[in-house]
Amino acid sequence: MAKSNRAEAATKAAAMRAEAARKDRQRKQLISAGVAVVVVIIAVAVGVVISNRPKAPASDGNSAAAASIAKLATVPASAFDAAGVPTESNAIPEKIPDGKVLMDGTKPKLAYVGAEFCPYCATERWSLVAALERFGDFTGLTETQSAQNEGDIPTVSFVGSTYKSDHISFQAVETQDRDHKPLEQMPADLDELFKKYNAPPYVPEQSAGAIPWMFYGTHQTVGSGVPVQPFTNLTQDSAWTTIVDQMMTGKGDYGQPIMANANAITAQICQLTKGEPADVCTSPAVVKTTPLLKQ
């Protein structure tokens, strides 16, 4: 009988230990589950905060670049005159025999087609902005670079920008970003002109035409009037400052060719605006460049 009692006691003790162990496991599982829920809640809350945070504009990535780009509105007339007449043959627009000036209401229109990956577009934009700022004002210009395998050339982006002028209208289309991904779609009317006049001959199966392409209606330029090679050495964050500082003087390896090319663009725009504004179109460098234009 004593042995039976001891056996029953041992069985009961084992059952009690098992029950205690089961409850302990259950308690630990509940604690783990609670911790997991808290972690999920925190993660969700953080995600909501991040998703609701206002997105910074692209130029916030490089404040020095943004400050330099803002200075493009203040390039002095002396910088254009110091740069002089362009020496690159590609800076001079070619005549389109059957071309007609595009109009936006009562204002003539200049059209530009490029892509952010393109190194030649990168150098040309500097001149284009400098020239157009003489006739009006840009807002919303930000920095970008050509593709990493295309020189990483620092430049400005027209995407999201606006241009206002009393003298001329400007239309810019960037077809791809710096990673060769689609960016902006070409309007049908501009696409038709691009395919008709762009040189080398447009071949749909092989290419989308040559860029950068600037279309004045009666004239066009295909490619850049600014040599690309010097710009491939500019890869640091201060590159935008270096370029703009030289543009402000019209001198240096970057400033002189950019501003000389800007003089050619200015002279061609003056043909569209019939010499307005007079102080721009009669400036010394523009007067010297005008005879180079193909009438």
pLDDT score of 17: 52
Whether the model clears a pTM of 0.85, i.e. scores above it, the answer is no
Query: Which of 184-188's residues contact partners 24+ apart within 8 Å by CB, and which partners?
Result: 184/159, 186/113
Say yes or no to pLDDT of 192 above 50: yes
Provide the sign of the torsion angle of the four alpha carbons 169, 95, 81, 154, taken in this order. positive
With 0-12 / 13-18 / 19 or more C-beta atoms within 10 angstroms meaning exposed / middle / buried, residue 177 is middle
Other Cβ atoms closer than 10 A to 250? 25
Q: What angle do CA 137, 290, 79 make, to 5 degrees?
A: 50
Give the pLDDT confidence score for residue 46 in this predicted structure.
33
Percent of the chain residues past pLDDT 90, beyond the cut: 68
Helix/strand/coil for 165: strand
Q: Binning pLDDT at 50, 70 and 90, where does residue 235 land?
A: confident
pLDDT in tens, 239-293: 999 999 999 999 999 999 999 999 999 999 999 999 999 999 999 999 999 999 9
- Using the Cα atoms of residue 15, residue 17, residue 18 and residue 19 in order, give the sign of their dihedral: positive
Reduce the DSSP state of residue 156 to 3 states and report it: strand
Give me the pLDDT at residue 233, please: 82
**pLDDT at residue 202, rounded to an integer:** 44
Helix (H) or strand (E) holding 292: none
Give the pLDDT confidence of 162-190 residue by residue, as tens digits.
999 999 999 999 999 999 999 999 999 99
Predicted local confidence at residue 205, as pLDDT = 42
C-alpha dihedral sign at 218, 220, 225, 231: positive
* R_g of the chain computed on alpha carbons: 32
| Phi/psi-derived region of residue 238, left when phi > 0, alpha when psi is between -120 and 50, beta in every other case | alpha
Burial label for 49, CB within 10 Å (0-12, 13-18, 19+), is: exposed
Residues in CB range of 117: below 8 A, 6 or more apart: 146, 147, 150, 176, 177, 178, 179, 180
pLDDT tens-digit profile of 93-135?
A: 999 988 999 999 999 999 999 999 999 999 999 999 999 999 9
Q: Is the Cβ–Cβ distance between 141 and 158 less than 8 Å?
A: yes
Mean of per-residue pLDDT scores for the chain:
82
The pLDDT of residue 19 = 53
Helix (H) or strand (E) holding 144: strand 142-145
pLDDT tens-digit readout, 44-100: 333 333 333 333 333 345 788 999 999 999 999 999 999 999 999 899 999 998 899
Determine the average pLDDT of the residues in 190-206.
70
Looking at residue 1, its pLDDT comes to: 43
What is the pLDDT at residue 208?
52
